[in-house]
């Protein structure tokens, strides 16, 4: 790792990025830009609208939204007080913020459904490893206002079609139902009865979960291998008719779109807000461990209400962008577009580059991409640079060009040379490059 620092009074001061974060630049930055473009176009097809909410929110939002007893809120949030003594939290996920925004901006008064998408950084204090960061990016959607299983199926279809569009294979969709309030209540009672005799065998966190939210005992990482966990009652056995019917319809709709999935009763999700459908989409990549879940989500019929809004159902998902990029890499899918420079321009022997700046500015404004020499390179090095950039045309400006209001233009492939009047350069480039650039 590079050291950025200096020796101050004999002490080596290093400034490095915080643990679990990374710098986005170069090829990876290109990939993220490219992914965003694909996502934008995809979201247009489904008529989802772009949202941006603050990166920090009142801590209370996540306590009420994500859940007091979840690992995310209990152990993973970045909490801080601002200078006005307010309790704030860097968002660990996007759903709670979108729901807050939906309520605060009274979007429930609009014609339903309201379909939102977002893309941005999230923060969780987790142990960093491949595919797990403390700052990571999510692309997510949230659809409000419909109880219909069509909406659950549409949301799942977006993930699947997005991955299909990228050419990602080896994808597995796991779905499950957490049931409605009544089913959950019956299940909760069953869990309390079941774990009661074993309470002293559970870890301290689980004993706390037993009191507050027994469902969370099931995603405990400490006790997960114990037989008492494996033999615990299954939520699927406690679903009421309505919940079973909802899941059955989601399955029918997924079938109608030819989307493969498996019903996996083990999917419980680490956030408290879910009701009915939950799902996780995995990539089957060696060495990924639990980081192979690329995206996940589900239905949350009471979250809007719990955060202080009216009773409006919602369903959504989020995909981890870093994990997605690792999965694409593992399948050798290259996302970067080859970007060629149209024109490379430079001057020779001039003290004042106003004429060059004027021309480059005009060409860029007319839709061509132009790079130029800022380092006073000699002729040979400028040609080398133009080759490296794969520039299609080279513009050379010397005192003769400035005096006569002309340009020397070279085709960088054929080396054919043209003398062009300044006012004719756009027509010239249009005639030579217009068709190529439109393809
Ligand atoms: P989540 O399962 O906590 O759900 O996160 C969704 C995805 O974000 C994960 O599947 C993973 O790809 C990525 N992710 C999570 N934590 C990390 C991390 N530390 N490093 C890298 N990637 C990570 C949610 O966040 C819900 N808000 C999803 C949702 C939307 N449910 C309904 N609507």
Q: Where are the domains of the chain?
A: 11-180+240-330, 343-438
Instruction: Assign 3-state DSSP to the chain and report helix, strand, coil percentages, each to 5.
Output: 45, 25, 35
Assigned token pair, 130: 């491949």
Sheet with 406-411, edge to edge strand ranges: 370-372, 343-347, 393-397, 406-411, 417-421
Centre of ligand 1 from the C-alpha of residue 320, in Å: 6
Centre of ligand 1 from the C-alpha of residue 18, in Å: 21
88 CB-near residues (< 8 Å, 6+ apart): 56, 57, 58, 59, 79, 80, 81, 82
Q: Strand pairing of 114-123 and 87-90?
A: unpaired
Centre of ligand 1 from the C-alpha of residue 36, in Å: 17
pLDDT in tens, 293-346: 999 999 999 999 999 999 999 999 999 999 999 999 999 998 887 778 999 999
Question: Does pLDDT of 174 surpass 60?
Answer: yes
Taking residues 114-143, what's their average pLDDT?
Answer: 97
Q: Strand pairing of 114-123 and 49-50?
A: parallel
The matching CATH number, chosen from 3.40.630.30, 3.30.1490.190, 3.30.930.10, 3.40.50.300, for 11-180+240-330 is 3.30.930.10
> Rounded to the nearest 10 degrees, how much is the dihedral formed by the CA atoms of 417, 423, 424, 427?
130
- The answer to whether 61 and 94 are in contact (CB under 8 A) is no
Nearest CA owner, ligand 1 atom 23: 320
pLDDT in tens, 199-226: 888 888 888 888 888 888 887 777 767 7
Q: Is residue 283 classed as helix, strand or coil in its secondary structure?
A: strand
From 92, 94, 297, 302, the mutation candidate for ligand 1 (largest count of ligand atoms within 8 A of CB) is 297
Taking residues 21-47, what's their average pLDDT?
Answer: 96
Rounded Cα–Cα distance for residues 321 and 49 (Å): 19
Q: Which residue has the higher pLDDT, 416 or 289?
A: 416
Range from 64-68, 153-157, 267-271 carrying the lowest mean pLDDT: 267-271
- For domain 343-438, say whether CATH 3.20.20.70 is its number: no
pLDDT score for 3: 47
What pTM value is reported for the model? Answer: 0.91
Nearest CA owner, ligand 1 atom 1: 296
Q: Which residue has the higher pLDDT, 224 or 277?
A: 277
Nearest CA owner, ligand 1 atom 16: 132
Centre of ligand 1 from the C-alpha of residue 144, in Å: 19
Domains 11-180+240-330 and 343-438 share a fold: no
pLDDT score for 137: 98
- Counting every residue written for the chain, the total comes to 439
Q: Give the binding-site residues of ligand 1, using a 6 Å CB cut-off.
A: 93-95, 124, 126, 131-133, 136, 138, 140, 142, 270-271, 293-298, 316-320, 322-323
Rounded Cα–Cα distance for residues 212 and 226 (Å): 21
pLDDT score for 10: 58
107 CB-near residues (< 8 Å, 6+ apart): 101, 114, 144
Q: Which atom of ligand 1 approaches the CA of 295 most closely?
A: 10
pLDDT score for 108: 98
Nearest CA owner, ligand 1 atom 12: 320
Judged by phi (left if over 0) then psi (alpha if -120 to 50, else beta), residue 255 lies in alpha
- The answer to whether 312 and 108 are in contact (CB under 8 A) is yes
97 CB-near residues (< 8 Å, 6+ apart): 53, 54, 57, 61, 91
Centre of ligand 1 from the C-alpha of residue 169, in Å: 20
Centre of ligand 1 from the C-alpha of residue 288, in Å: 15
Centre of ligand 1 from the C-alpha of residue 38, in Å: 20
């Amino acid at each position: 790792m590079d050291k950025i620092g200096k020796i101050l009074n004999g002490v080596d001061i290093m400034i490095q990025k915080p643990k679990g974060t990374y710098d986005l630049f170069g090829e990876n930055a290109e990939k993220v830009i490219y992914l965003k473009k694909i996502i934008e176009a995809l979201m247009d097809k489904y008529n989802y609208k772009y949202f941006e909410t603050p990166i920090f929110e009142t801590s209370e939002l996540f306590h009420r939204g994500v859940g007091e007893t979840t690992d995310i809120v209990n152990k993973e949030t970045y909490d801080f007080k601002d200078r006005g003594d307010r309790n704030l939290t860097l968002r660990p996920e996007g759903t709670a913020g979108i729901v807050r925004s939906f309520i605060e901006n009274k979007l429930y008064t609009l014609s339903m459904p309201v379909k939102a998408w977002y893309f941005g950084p999230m923060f969780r204090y987790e142990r960093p490893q491949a595919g797990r960061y403390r700052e990571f990016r999510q692309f997510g959607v949230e659809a409000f206002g419909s109880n219909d299983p069509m909406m659950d199926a549409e949301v799942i279809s977006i993930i699947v079609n997005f991955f299909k569009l990228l050419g990602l294979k080896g994808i597995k969709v796991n779905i499950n139902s957490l049931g409605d309030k009544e089913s959950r209540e019956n299940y909760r009672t069953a869990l309390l009865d079941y774990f009661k005799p074993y309470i002293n065998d559970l870890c301290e966190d689980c004993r706390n979960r037993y009191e507050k939210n027994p469902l969370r005992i099931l995603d405990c990482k400490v006790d997960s291998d114990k037989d008492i966990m494996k033999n615990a009652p299954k939520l699927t056995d406690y679903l009421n008719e309505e919940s079973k019917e909802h899941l059955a319809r989601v399955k029918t709709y997924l079938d109608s779109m030819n989307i493969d999935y498996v019903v996996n009763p083990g999917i419980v999700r680490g956030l408290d807000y879910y009701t009915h459908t939950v799902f996780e989409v995995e990539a089957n990549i060696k060495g990924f461990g639990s980081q192979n879940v690329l995206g996940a989500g589900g239905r949350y019929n009471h979250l809007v209400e719990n955060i202080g809004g009216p009773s409006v159902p919602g369903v959504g998902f989020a995909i981890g962008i870093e994990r997605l990029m690792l999965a694409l890499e593992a399948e050798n899918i290259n996302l970067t577009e080859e970007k060629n420079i149209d024109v490379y321009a430079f001057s020779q022997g001039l003290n004042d580059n106003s004429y060059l700046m004027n021309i480059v500015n005009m060409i860029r404004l007319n839709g061509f991409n132009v790079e130029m020499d800022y380092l006073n390179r000699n002729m040979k090095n400028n040609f080398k640079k133009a080759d490296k950039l794969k520039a299609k045309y080279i513009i050379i400006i010397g005192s003769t060009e400035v005096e006569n209001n002309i340009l020397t233009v070279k085709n960088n492939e054929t080396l054919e040379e043209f003398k062009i009047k300044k006012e004719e350069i756009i027509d010239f480039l249009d005639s030579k490059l217009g068709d190529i650039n439109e393809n």
